[in-house]
Structure 1
Amino acid sequence: MKDNFSTQAADYAIYRPTYPQELYDYLFSLVKGKSAAWDCATGNGQVARILAQEFENVYATDISEKQLGQALKLPNITYQVESSDQTQVPDQSFDLITVAQAIHWFNFDAFYSEVKRTLKPDGILAVIGYGLMFIDKKVDKSVHKLYQDILGKYWDTERRYIEENYKTIPFPFEEITAPHFQIKTSWTFNQLIGYLNTWSALQHYKKANERNPLEYMFTELKEAWGNDAVKDVHFPILLRIGK
């Protein structure tokens, strides 16, 4: 699994969007037991902290120690530096396994083998993610210019799974058809810039060119944003659920 986010771990914790409560409520409704959950590739623990409100114990793993350093510490969350395909837990440990905005980086076969080993017989696997946000026509046009024209060749090949809405990832489970959810939030212009700086492709560009590509796009993005103090932002949620 690639670690594309340790460098910008602090910004990731601040600027990345959070999933709506309706999504969590739906997942909780599918789970029969709530003794233990595993949040794989937990990052800064965004999902783990919500799981901790419902489950007796949450096991949260990530390969990035810097990301885990940004996570909220709670008494019923165990954070561990571990890969997605090797956890130090017994068989049939978890009622729910979540992986949010990360499965596209995984070795699918190895991860799914670990899921099948550690998931209880009636447990649930939830693969969650989100696509490119929508704000308004002018801002979207500028963001797409950055995304495609400037950063196109700097995206890892795995990014295509997000562009394909996770529909093309292998999924060897009995699938549950899930409703559609959206992340809905409001941003200032500075929050937009902060979020764009968390993109892995932008970090690849900076490393290759020793320049931040937002230097070229800042004025255009600012003009597209206009005089609004805040704008509504929507992210389509990607969701595959299996048992």
Structure 2
Amino acid sequence: MKDLFSQHSADYARYRPQYPEALYKWLADQVPAADHAWDCATGNGQLARHLSLIFKQVEATDISAQQLKEAPQLPNVRYSVQPAEQTDFPDHTFDLITVAQAIHWFDFNGFYEEVKRTAKPGALLLVTGYGNLKVTNVVDQIIAHLYDDILGPYWDPERKYVDEEYKTIPFPFTDIKVPHFPVSFSWSLEHLIAYLNTWSAVKHYEKKHGENPVDSITEALKQAWGTAAEHSVHFPLLLRAGRI
């Protein structure tokens, strides 16, 4: 698994979108028990924090020790540096396994074998993430220009799974129908720009050219944004769920 986010872990924790409360309520109704959950590739512990309110014990793993330093310290959450495909967890441990905005980086076969080994019979696997945001038509066009025209060659090949809304990832489990969960926020222009700067392709571009590609669209974004202090920002929520 690639580690593309350790160097900017604080920004990642601050500016990446959160997942809706309704998703966690739905999860609580789907699991056979609420004893143990594994949040794989937890990053800054965003999901783990919410899972700690549902489960007695949460194991949260990531390959980035720097990301884990940004995660909240909670009495029933244990963080550990471990790859998705090989962990030290006992067999048949978890009632729920989650992956948020990360499965496209995994070795799918290795991860799914680890899921089968560590899950209890009847446990739930939830794969989630979010696609490209929508603000207004004009702002969206500028962001699309950044995403496709400027950064197109700098996206890792795995990004295609996000563009395809996780519909094309290998998934050796029977899909469970998941409700639609809206994901919307009120963001300032500064927050939007900071979010764009967390994109992995931006970092790849900077490394090659020594300049920030987001700077090239900032003035256009300001003009398109107008005088409003904030705009509603909408993300499509990507979801796959299966019984193990």
Deviations 1:35-79 (A, max 9, x none): 000000000000000000010000000001110010000010000
CA drift at 1:182: 2.3
Q: Equivalent residue of 2:185, what SS?
A: strand
Aligned residue type for 1:137: N
- The match for 1:6 is 6
Residue 134 (structure 2) aligns with:
134
Secondary structure of the residue aligned to 1:7 is: helix
One-letter amino acid matched to 2:103: I
SS of residue matched to 1:175: coil
**Superposed structure 1 runs of 4+ greater than 4 Å apart:** none
Determine the C-alpha separation between the residues in 1 that align with 2:220 and 2:94.
48
Q: Note the 1:46-195 alignment, pairs <5 A.
A: 46-195=46-195
Q: Which amino acid aligns with 1:83?
A: P
Q: TM-score, normalised by structure 2?
A: 0.98
Q: Give unpaired runs (5+ residues) of structure 1.
A: none
Task: Give the partner amino acid of 1:23.
Answer: L
Match in the other structure for 1:234: 234
Listed as ranges, the gaps of 5+ residues in structure 2 are none
Select between 172-181 and 53-62 the one with higher mean Cα deviation: 172-181
Amino acid at match of 1:9: S
Distance 2:165 2:223 in 1: 30
The aligned length equals 243
The CA deviation at 1:115 is 0.2
Displacement of 1:183 in angstroms is 1.1
How far 1:198 sits from its partner (Å)? 0.4
Aligned partners of 1:45, 1:183: CA distance in 2, in Å? Answer: 19
- Local SS of the residue matching 1:104: helix
Distance in 2 between residues matched to 1:177 and 1:102, nearest whole Å:
21
Offset of residue 174 of structure 1:
2.0
Cα distance in 2, alignment partners of residues 182 and 221 from structure 1: 25
Deviation at 1:28, TM superposition (A): 1.3
Q: Quick one: which amino acid aligns to residue 19 of structure 2?
A: Y
Query: Which deviations, in whole Å up to 9, do the C-alpha atoms of 1:9-52 show, x marking residues without a partner?
Result: 11000000000001111111101200000000000000000000
2-structure distance, mates of 1:162, 1:84: 18
State the alpha-carbon separation in 2 of the partners of residues 78 and 196 from structure 1. Answer: 30
- Once the two structures are superposed, what CA deviation does each residue of 1:163-183 show, in whole Å capped at 9, x if it has no partner? 101000010012211122221
1:34 alignment counterpart: 34
